[in-house]
């Protein structure tokens, strides 16, 4: 996958997780941020492998390793590629997903989820009869 594909997939995974939170949880930005960072469907940080990975992880990472934007983000964080690569393809996949979060506006995703729910609730309301 390219880094752009990682960003897009991570955003979709964030939306899936946000859709499962209750309305009160959506009001707490820090709670949402923590949940998204820790959910293995978004980053894989807790287990070291992303639960939403489709296909072979080694195939997924081959394009991102040479992506300039990914490498710039990676180097900005001061990480050591040899150390991460020594942990295997899953580690690189997790790093790519974590770095992808930098390019996703969690505030916008949370607001989108709240508006989606408001619209759903509005549509489920019975139509009132006007006299």
4-49, pLDDT tens digit by residue?
999 999 999 999 999 999 999 999 999 999 999 999 999 999 888 8
- Residue 129 has a pLDDT of 52
Mean pLDDT of 108-121: 94
**DSSP 8-state symbol, 40:** T
pLDDT given at position 56: 87
The pair of structure tokens assigned to 127 is 């139509």
DSSP secondary-structure letter at 80?
Answer: -
Q: Which helix (H) or strand (E) holds 104?
A: none
Q: Is the pTM of this model over 0.85?
A: yes
130 has a pLDDT exceeding 60: no
pLDDT per position as a tens digit, 50-74: 888 887 899 989 999 999 999 999 9
């Amino acid at each position: 996958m390219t880094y752009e594909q990682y960003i897009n997939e991570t955003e979709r995974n964030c939306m899936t997780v946000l859709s499962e939170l209750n309305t009160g949880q959506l009001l707490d930005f820090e709670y949402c941020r923590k949940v998204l960072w820790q959910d293995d469907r978004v980053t894989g940080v807790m287990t070291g492998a992303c639960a939403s990975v489709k296909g072979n992880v080694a195939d997924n990472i081959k394009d991102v390793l040479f992506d300039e934007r990914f490498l710039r983000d990676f180097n900005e964080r001061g990480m050591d590629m040899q150390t991460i690569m020594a942990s295997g393809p899953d580690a690189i996949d997790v790093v790519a997903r974590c770095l992808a979060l930098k390019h996703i506006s969690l505030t916008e995703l949370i607001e989108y989820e709240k508006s989606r729910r408001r619209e759903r609730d509005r549509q489920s309301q019975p139509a009132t009869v006007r006299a």
